[in-house]
Structure 1
Amino acid sequence: MTRTKAVAWAGGVSYLLVVGLLVGGAPRASGTVHGVGALLAVSLLAGVVRRMPLSALAMALFGSTAVVVGPPSPGPVSLTASYQGQFLSYLAVDLVLGFIVATCVRRASIVAVAVSFAVQFLVIGVFTHGDGLAVNEVIALLAMAASCMAGQLSRERREHAVVLRSQEVAEAVTAERLRIARELHDMVAHSIGIIAIQAGVGGRVIQTQPAEAREALRAIEATSRETLSGLRRTLVSLRQADRGVTVSERSPLAPSPGLADVERLAAATAGAGVCVDLCFSGEQRLVPADIDLSVYRIVQEALTNVVRHAGIGRCRVAIGYGDEELSVEIVDDGRGATGKGSAQGFGIIGMRERVGLLGGRLSAGPRPEGGFRVTARLPLPAPVAVPMEAR
């Protein structure tokens, strides 16, 4: 940091030395040569501009004004060369001014523009005579306006990029919160529903049928352990992500559930009093992890709704493996949707979000013949053809 500051100030001192040489060491040069020299010399202020832009503007104003009001060249000098020298000298100031408008706060930018405007117009008005006065004033005004416009456009583009980035971050945070909410709802709602039913069964038969009460308690214990494991996996993942732990540094976690766990889910639902007729069709094969988890969560949420709202002891789950899509259907013959049923909660909303993120289609609603049906169709990616090795 100290070296950078020293280099910046060395550039500023070098700029002042070059301006001194232009003013005192090259008196025979024309105004155009002085203006070009002042314009090129401003590059020495690059370090000062980045660290102290207002100081750089003061140096540039001082140097350009010194070049304009310096001792006149001996001999006849054309008015065109004199005007060109003034324009080129203050063009260096306009470059610094554009950088200030683009990077500094608005109050500092307004002060810098006002000071630069006053100095340029005062010097040009004093050292320009005749018909060239109006022309030089207009040219200086246009050059200053162009530099300020360029700086303002650069500022707005940068601010717009910051806003877009903030929106992307906010959308990513919202999407992650929704994903966590879906996971927690699907996992906890199903488990709590089964626990509530098993606890009710155990409470009713604990005096008359202790064996069944023990089975209900075992089911409660198993479901609770499974739920705690899922919650622990989610919380550990969130904490590691919050601390910025890389994937390779994370502790190994239990795998997420998928199609292979649907049979275990059906067995747990049967323990809650709802028998599940589970059938698969098509050629069973591995599917992408996001589809695998989503199918499990859809079946889990639908079975939770059957247990809690259908008021029936049996339902059917059909999973079909097609060439281009995976279909899931959960059907029951119960009461269907009620005012306090599943259609009014977050379960179906979460299922729609999951299916929508995967580009699929979901339909959920009461059947004409009674009961409720949930149907999801998820597109499967095309299998990748592996070329045979040349023999």
Structure 2
Amino acid sequence: MRNTLGGLRPRLRDRPMITDAVLATLLTAAAVLFAHGSAPAGAPPGPGGPTGTALALITAGCLATALRRLRPFLVLCLVVLLDVALAGLSHSGSLWLATLPLIYTTAAHRGLALSLCALAVTFCGRIVSAMVRGDLGDWTAHLLMAALTVTLWSIGRSLRLRRAYLSELRDRAERMDRAREADTRAARAEERSRIARELHDVVAHHVSVMTVQAAAARRVLASNPDGAREALSAIEETGRAAMAEMRNIVGVLRTGPAVPAERGPQPGLREIASLAEQMREAGLPTCLRFEGGGSAEATPDGVPPLPPGVDLAVYRLVQEALTNSLRHAGEGASAWVTVRHEPGELTVHIEDDGRGPRAARAAAARNEAVQGEAGGAADRGRAAAERIGHGLVGIRERVALYGGILRIGPRPEGGFEVKARFPLKD
């Protein structure tokens, strides 16, 4: 029995016209029985029954309630008119039963203005019917019907407001879900961009160092086996360092929910010394100076602790600039790294005195073509364009992220420089 009722309810919910037709049939039967039990107004005492016209009006009004979900207000107006016509036949009809589900449906499924109009039409129709029948003095019945009508109207309005409130909650939840998904996508895109920048810096630096060391080992392999062995050892150490750093960066992408990520400390200002030493081993003499607190020394002790983001940005800036110097400065070039701390500001200056591997060829071509100063400026511009690659463009984004100012370009006395200023808060 319970399974039968459980399967019947969804079917009735999906087919509301069946429920309305059953309700209309029950209202018709109740109204007809009520009409047979009442005598016509003004008739002598005794049993009396409704005429065929009155029965037709009662049946039409009650069966019309089957359309209450489609046009509740129009059906209500029709029923009120039929009730007035029934009163004109001097019959105390019972169409007021049909107005109850209609007033409830109008209040539950239509706006406030239309539901108030339906309430007013119902009361006006009953007043007119009572006046036509001449039974305005029966205040008890009128008050009972008015109270029942207002109660059903209030229940319908409450259900409509509740549905509107639940719908607003659902819409708000959907909007929050969409906003959360958008934030998640933005965070993923930002993280992918950050990892791409980190990988570029790591790979470009270490591969450049390994390439230079491999070339040096190849040159001295026959004449100086011990030197070649040291270069190969340096290549091995550089490769291991690159693999370890890339594993730390990419490891978070392959970490499952049950495996905690192994997050090593990010490189910063204190690792610049090892970076300079690595450049010296690769063949680029690098001088490192830290200025701050009235002293200049080769250790970062005079520089106060930096925010983690600025600390990493400074390291990547020095790493990318020295990598470019190693790659483009040419033979016999030297580099200088100066980190200066001032009140409210940190300045990082990387410069080299290299002319580039193509400087000699550019000078020869310039002399042969007799291009003068304009040709020299064009050559310098092409050389500077070669030095500014994707890595320094990414560094520009890092510096701008922390409100810094970055200058990249050739030095007036020759060579290349990268200079950044980071604002520091107290």
Q: What letter corresponds to residue 339 of structure 1 in structure 2?
A: R
Aligned-pair CA distance for 1:338: 6.2
Distance apart, 1:361 and its partner CA: 1.1
Moved more, 209-218 or 280-289: 280-289
SS of structure 2 residue aligned to 1:326? strand
Question: Which of 275, 285, 299 does residue 285 from structure 2 map onto?
Answer: 275
1:26–1:315 distance in 2 versus 1, CA, 3 Å: farther
Q: Go from structure 1 to structure 2 and tell me whether the alpha carbon gap of 1:229 and 1:280 turns closer, same or farther (over 3 Å shift).
A: same
> 2: CA distance between counterparts of 1:19 and 1:358?
72
The residue correspondences of 1:18-57 to structure 2 (distance < 5 A) are none
**Among residues 256, 270, 276, which one is paired with 1:260 in the alignment?**
270
Q: Which amino acid aligns with 1:290?
A: G
CA shift at 1:253, angstroms?
A: 3.0
Superposed CA deviations along residues 212-257 of structure 1, whole A, max 9, x for unmatched, are 11110111011000000011112211112xx4x38xx514332211
Q: Is the 8 A contact 1:67 1:89 kept in 2?
A: no
CA distance 1:300–1:181, shift in 2 (3 Å): same
State which of 251, 255, 274 in structure 2 corresponds to 1:236: 251
2:327 aligned with 1:292, yes or no?
no
Q: Relative to structure 2, which stretch is displaced further, 209-218 or 327-336?
A: 327-336
Deviation by residue 1:83-138 (Cα, 9 ceiling, x = unmatched): 9x98985464446xxxxxxxxxxxxxxxxxxxxxxxxxxxxxxxxxxxxxxxxxxx
* Residue matched to 1:194: 209
Question: Which residue identity does 2:340 align to in structure 1?
Answer: G
1:356 to 1:6, Cα distance in 2 relative to 1, 3 A: farther
Q: Provide the C-alpha distance between the structure 1 equivalents of 2:242 and 2:87, rounded to a whole number of angstroms.
A: 96
Say which of 293, 315, 332 aligns to 2:335. Answer: 315
Which amino acid in the other structure matches residue 398 of structure 2?
A: R
After the TM superposition, which residues 164-175 of structure 1 pair with which residues of structure 2 at under 5 Å, given as runs?
A: 168-175=183-190
The answer for the alignment partner of 1:371 in structure 2 is: 415
2:350 to 307, 327, 330: 330
The answer (yes or no) to whether the contact 2:338–2:349 under 8 Å persists in 1 is yes
Q: After superposition, give the CA deviation of every residue in 1:324-361 in whole Å (9 maximum; x if it has no partner).
A: 12211101111276636554420110110111111211
> In the alignment, residue 60 of structure 1 is paired with which amino acid?
R
- The match for 1:60 among 69, 82, 89 is 69
Q: Residue 393 of structure 2 aligns with which residue?
A: 349
Match of 1:285, SS state, is coil
Residue of structure 1 in register with 2:195 after alignment: 180
CA distance in 2, matches of 1:7, 1:179: 56
The alignment-based identity, stated in percent, is 37
Kindly report which structure 2 residues correspond to 1:102-121, keeping only aligned pairs within 5 A, or say none.
none
3-state secondary structure, aligned to 2:228: helix
1:166 positional shift: 6.2
Give the whole-Å Cα distance in 2 for the aligned partners of 1:237 and 1:90: 59
In 2, Cα distance between equivalents of 1:22 and 1:286: 85
Could you tell me how far 1:321 is from its partner in structure 2? 1.9
Q: Is the 8 A contact 2:75 2:102 kept in 1?
A: no
Q: Residue 224 of structure 2 aligns with which residue?
A: 209
The one-letter amino acid paired with 1:205 is V
**How many residues of Structure 1 are paired with residues of Structure 2 in the alignment?**
288
| Aligned-pair CA distance for 1:175 | 2.3
- Maintained 8 Å contact 2:337/2:349: yes
Residue 368 of structure 1 deviates from its aligned partner by 1.6
For residues 296-307 of structure 1, the aligned pairs below 5 Å read 296-307=315-326
SS, match of residue 61 in structure 1? coil
SS of 1:269's equivalent in the other structure is helix
Structure 2 matches for 1:62-81, cutoff 5 A? 70=79, 72-73=82-83, 75=87
Distance in 2 (CA, whole Å) between partners of 1:181 and 1:302 is 18
Q: Is the 8 A contact 1:19 1:63 kept in 2?
A: no
Amino acid at match of 1:293: L
Unaligned 5+ residue runs, structure 2?
35-66, 89-95, 112-163, 293-301, 357-379
| Distance change in 2, residues 1:254/1:338 (3 Å) | farther
* Matched residue type, 1:190: H
Q: Distance in 2 between matches of 1:192 and 1:318?
A: 24
Q: Structure 1 residues 7 and 86 mapped into 2: Cα distance closer, same or farther (>3 Å)? A: closer
User: After superposition, where does 1:145-164 map in structure 2 within 5 Å?
Assistant: none
Instruction: Look up the match of 2:92.
Output: none
Q: How far apart are 1:180 and its partner, in Å?
A: 1.5
Q: Which structure is larger by alpha-carbon Rg, 1 or 2?
A: 2
2:152 corresponds to: none
User: Could you state the TM-score of these two structures normalised by the residue count of structure 1?
Assistant: 0.60
Q: Is the 8 A contact 1:364 1:375 kept in 2?
A: yes
Q: Is the 8 A contact 1:60 1:92 kept in 2?
A: no
Could you tell me which residue of structure 1 aligns to residue 382 of structure 2? Answer: 339
Cα separation, 1, equivalents of 2:68 and 2:195: 57
Partner of 2:405: 361
Q: Secondary structure at the match of 1:377?
A: strand
Name the SS for the 1:193 alignment partner. helix
2:202 aligned partner, one-letter code: M
Report SS of the residue matched to 1:331: strand
Relative to structure 1, the CA distance from residue 285 to residue 63 in structure 2 (aligned partners, 3 Å threshold; closer, same or farther) is: same
Counterparts in 2 of 1:86 and 1:270: CA distance versus 1, 3 Å: same
**3-state SS of the aligned residue for 1:184?**
helix
Hey, what's the Cα distance between the residues in 2 that align with 1:5 and 1:345?
Answer: 70
SS in 1 for 2:412: coil
